[in-house]
Amino acid sequence: MRVTALDHLVLTVADPDATVAFYERLGMASKRFGDGRLALHFGLQKINLHLAGAEFEPHARRPEPGAADLCLLVDEPIPVVERELGRAGIAIAVGPVEREGAQGTLESVYVRDPDGNLIELSHPR
């Protein structure tokens, strides 16, 4: 067996509506599935959202809003991303900085979502 890709991950959130609004400003699309579950779609991946205290089974041992640290690849150079974040009212916490990603060097800025998760937005160099 060999792992080949990431299909989805789960974020535990305090306020799904605020989370959806934030990630939609980053270009993701929200979608309901199953029995009213909620996900954010981008590219070939998705982020499933679990409401804190009402997590879908099975779930992480200690699901908690604000415990995630994610790196998301963006299609625009970081100066363009900075302008778009400014227009969307999303503050940059750190950056731009150079980082090493899974496939090489990245230029990144960091933002925080409504739960305080650290979101790295990166463009390959």
What is the rounded average pLDDT of the residues 79-86? 97
Percent of the chain with pLDDT over 70: 100
Domains delineated in the chain: 8-124 (3.10.180.10)
CA–CA dist 19, 14 (Å, integer): 8
What does the DSSP assignment read for 5-62? Answer: ---EEEEEES-HHHHHHHHHHTT-EEEEETTTEEEEEETTEEEEEEETTSPPSS--SS
Q: Is 82 annotated in the active site? A: no
Q: Convert the pLDDT of each residue in 25-63 to its tens digit.
A: 999 999 999 988 999 999 999 999 999 999 999 999 999
The confidence score (pLDDT) of residue 4 equals: 87
pLDDT at site 35: 87
The pLDDT score that the predictor gives to residue 68 is 96
Which of the residues 64, 82, 98, 120 is marked catalytic? 120
Given this model, what pLDDT does residue 13 score? 98
